[in-house]
Amino acid sequence: MAMPEFINHVQNAAKNPTGWLNPTAVADLLESDFHTMRPGQRERLFQAVERFRAIAETASPHPEQVIEARAAFDLILEILQPYLTPESEKIRETIAKAWRKERDWIPTFDYVLGNNWLDQPVVWLWFVLKDDVLPEDIDTKNPTTREGLRRVQAAIRKEFEDAGIERRPNMSIRSESEVKELQARATA
């Protein structure tokens, strides 16, 4: 499970006034999720998730802990705002439709809605791939990975067309270890 499921859990909990204080509200967050987020913001998100989870896992939290958990949950919602707009939700769901069939080797993805240099609306989309599907040498091809990337990219273009999404998907890849390196670099 990964970013799309995590966001769904958060959204479902936000709609549940009596059952929001539950560990499932923040389930399925992967270490390599949200790698396009600004580093400070991402760190705040992960810390808020940890604070929330620690209290939610407590059998009978004190009223002060409930207040603290609510503050953490509200912060999570605030940080996730760019992902919660109707357009972002539609695009995430459309990408996820194609991605779910490939998640055994693409554990997660992240995206940013923005404009290109011509000010045309685009989606910058990164698939996070398992390290072992990417050979170190540039000239060494993993035919399965190449074929898989062609398949998922074609599927996403088709899903965008079918969903009437006019933003152009500009797709790329990063490995799990590269995502970790980016995070380490940001916090160094």
Partner 1 sequence: MSLADELLDTAKYLLRRNKNKPTQADIRRSISSAYYALFHHLIEAGTGHLVVDLAQQQALARAFSHTNMREVCELVTKQPLPPILVPLLGSSVPDELRQVADKFVALQDWRHNADYNVSLIFTRNEGRERIDDLEDVFAAWKLIPTAIANPFLILLLLGKRSLR
Residues that bind partner 1 (CB under 8 A): 116-117, 122, 126, 129, 134, 136-139, 141, 146, 149-150, 157, 161, 168, 170-175, 178, 181-182, 185
5/178 with CB nearer partner 1: 178
Q: Which of residues 81 and 172 has its CB atom nearest to partner 1 in the complex?
A: 172
The DSSP H or E segment spanning 124 is: strand 121-129
Q: Give the CA-trace dihedral at 104, 125, 180, 76, to 10 degrees.
A: -100
Amino acid in the structure at residue 64: E
Q: Which two tokens stand for residue 135?
A: 């050979």
Minimum distance of partner 1 from residue 32's CB (angstroms): 12
List, in sequence order, every residue forming a beta bridge with 129; answer none if it has no partner.
175
- The least distance separating partner 1 from the CB of residue 127, rounded to whole angstroms, comes to 9
Q: Are strands 108-115 and 121-129 parallel, antiparallel or unpaired?
A: antiparallel
What is the smallest separation between the CB atom of 176 and partner 1, expressed in angstroms? 10
Residue with smaller CB distance to partner 1, 73 or 111: 111
> Which residue type sits at 173?
I
Residue 146 CB, nearest distance to partner 1 (Å)?
Answer: 6
